[in-house]
Amino acid sequence: MKIIGDINCVVSNQVRFPKSKKRRIRKKWADRNCNGENTPIPDVYVMKKQGLIIGHPSTIAELTHKIRDAETKSCIVDGSCPMGIVNTWGIL
């Protein structure tokens, strides 16, 4: 499977709000980028038919780190290191 890091996998949360309670003003403030912050989506999207795993680069880095840790732990316990998940995914 191919892993793709996409910087657009974010959720925007509005942080600043106007003093006015009118819907029109609130909508304008919600559309502005300076009034919110973007946080990466903690999940990855798996597309089995295309053979893709898509996520934010920080999430992908965390996922690959967990996979490498799991592989090294299994190599230490078993004593044998077969070609594992990391090599088949094309990370290394």
Query: For 25-81, how does the pLDDT look when each residue is reduced to its tens digit (9 = 90+)?
Result: 988 888 888 888 888 888 888 888 888 888 899 988 888 888 888 877 766 555 555
* Contact partners, residue 72, CB within 8 Å, separation at least 6: none
**For the whole prediction, is pTM greater than 0.95?**
no
At residue 60's C-alpha, the angle toward residues 7 and 76, to 5°, is: 165
Q: Which domain holds residue 13?
A: 2-89
User: Is it the case that residue 8 has pLDDT exceeding 80?
Assistant: yes
Tokens read off for 63: 């996922």
Tokens read off for 38: 């973007």
Instruction: Report, in this order, helix, strand and coil percent for the chain, each rounded to 5.
Output: 40, 25, 35
Q: How many domains does the chain have?
A: 1
Tokens read off for 10: 């974010």
